[in-house]
């Protein structure tokens, strides 16, 4: 991947200007392209790719779309270049700049709106979720994303709900977060760690596994956020208490030392390194570990 396609190298004080500078770098790059559905990888993505077949078996007519921090909204078949950009905080290639002094959600929303002004890699495709809802007002819209990604598209989702003939068909599967009690509250399906013992896999793929279960248990090709929300809240209430671990907490310096050793041992990602740490009964909160991992990986 060329340095120009790492967001850390798109510099501008203003978030919209930075988004435009980033887009110029994407458009002028000569890197080889691949379809989006083939470019992304990992446990979460492998489960996401299975959703279309599950949906077809029930009678849905599914289309896979990607909420991309690098490209904006794109279909799974879009030809894109390998890039590094994320809505998550603490990453060298994060959209978020100076989270301590600037509102994170506001930055993410400006970035999303700015990318939507460009035609994108699939010239005739929608560039916003609300545009999809306008074009297909009777459709179901199933969103599988972390709270920060939902925050980036919050306004877009609210507009989409208003344009659907049946707003309850907008379903958001994500972790519980302050945003879940806001304007999107009635669409939010809680994806909690309590579901993991039933669905298997790691927490990295939990949202996608909840989405797959939603589709598998659907008796009609229509989603209803109200009934799904009640069901998943009830499942959480009925679940056994989460297992409490007695892992030894580490300082930032100790975590950095661990990460350097993990990288030398061949760890390929922050998530793999975190699993190694927890297997040794050591403790570090996920977002903190992820931030420290990218700091060490970047040489700081």
List, for residues 277-295, the tens digit of each pLDDT value.
888 888 888 878 888 888 8
d(CA 22, CA 7): 7
**Among the residues of 245-284, which ranges form H helices?**
252-264, 270-279
Is 90 exceeded by the pLDDT of residue 108?
Answer: yes
Q: What is the pLDDT of residue 12?
A: 85
Judge whether residue 242 has pLDDT over 90. Answer: no
Q: Give the pLDDT mean for 57-65.
A: 94
Give the percent of the chain with pLDDT over 70. Answer: 95
For residue 141, list its beta bridge partners.
170
Rounded mean pLDDT, 263-290: 84
| pLDDT of 158 above 60 | yes
pLDDT band at residue 300 using 50, 70 and 90 as cut-offs:
low
How confident is the prediction for the chain on average, in pLDDT? 90
pLDDT in tens, 8-60: 999 887 899 999 999 999 999 999 999 999 999 888 999 999 999 999 999 99
Q: In angstroms, rounded to a whole number, what is the distance separating the alpha carbons of residues 41 and 204?
A: 12
Q: Which pLDDT score is estimated for 240?
A: 61
pLDDT band at 103 (very low <50, low <70, confident <90, very high): confident
> What b/e string do you get for 126-153 counting C-beta neighbours within 10 Å, with b at 16 or more?
bbbbbbbbeebeebbbbbbbbbbbbbbb
Long-range CB pairs of 28-35 (<8 Å, 24+ gap) are 28/4, 29/2, 29/4, 29/5, 29/81, 31/1, 31/2, 31/5, 31/81, 31/82, 32/81, 33/79, 33/80, 33/81, 33/121, 34/79, 34/80, 34/82, 35/76, 35/77, 35/78, 35/79, 35/80
Give the torsion sign (CA, 199, 200, 201, 202): positive
Say if CB 192 and CB 156 are below 8 A apart. no
Residue 4 dihedral angles phi and psi, to the nearest 5°? -65, -20
Average pLDDT over every residue of 117-121? 94
Closest by CA position to 213, among listed 120, 144, 290, 285: 144
pLDDT higher than 60, residue 202: yes
């Amino acid at each position: 991947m060329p340095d120009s396609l790492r967001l850390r190298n798109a510099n501008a004080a203003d978030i919209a200007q930075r988004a435009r500078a980033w887009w110029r770098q994407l458009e002028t790059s000569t890197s080889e392209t691949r379809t989006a559905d083939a470019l992304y990888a990992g446990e979460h993505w492998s489960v996401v790719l299975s959703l279309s077949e599950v949906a077809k078996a029930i009678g849905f007519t599914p289309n896979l779309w990607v909420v991309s921090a690098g490209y904006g909204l794109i279909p799974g078949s879009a030809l894109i270049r390998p890039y590094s950009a994320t809505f998550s905080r603490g990453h060298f290639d994060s959209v978020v700049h100076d989270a301590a002094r600037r509102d994170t959600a506001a930055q993410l929303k400006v970035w999303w709106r700015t990318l939507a002004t460009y035609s994108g890699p699939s010239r005739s495709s929608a560039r916003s979720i609300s545009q999809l809802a306008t074009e297909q007002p009777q459709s179901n819209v199933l969103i599988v994303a972390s709270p920060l990604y939902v925050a980036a598209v919050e306004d877009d989702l609210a507009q989409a709900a208003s344009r659907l003939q049946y707003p309850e068909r907008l379903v958001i599967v994500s972790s519980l977060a302050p945003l879940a009690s806001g304007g999107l509250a009635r669409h939010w399906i809680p994806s909690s760690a309590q579901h993991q013992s039933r669905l298997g896999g790691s927490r990295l793929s939990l949202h996608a596994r909840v989405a797959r279960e939603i589709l598998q248990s659907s008796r009609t090709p229509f989603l209803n956020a109200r009934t799904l929300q009640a069901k998943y809240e009830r499942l959480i209430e009925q679940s056994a208490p989460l297992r409490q671990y007695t892992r030894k907490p580490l300082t930032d310096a100790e975590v950095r030392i661990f990460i350097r050793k993990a990288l030398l041992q061949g760890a390929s990602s922050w998530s793999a390194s975190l699993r190694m740490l927890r297997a040794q009964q050591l403790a570090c909160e996920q977002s903190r570990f992820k931030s420290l991992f990218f700091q060490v990986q970047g040489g700081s």
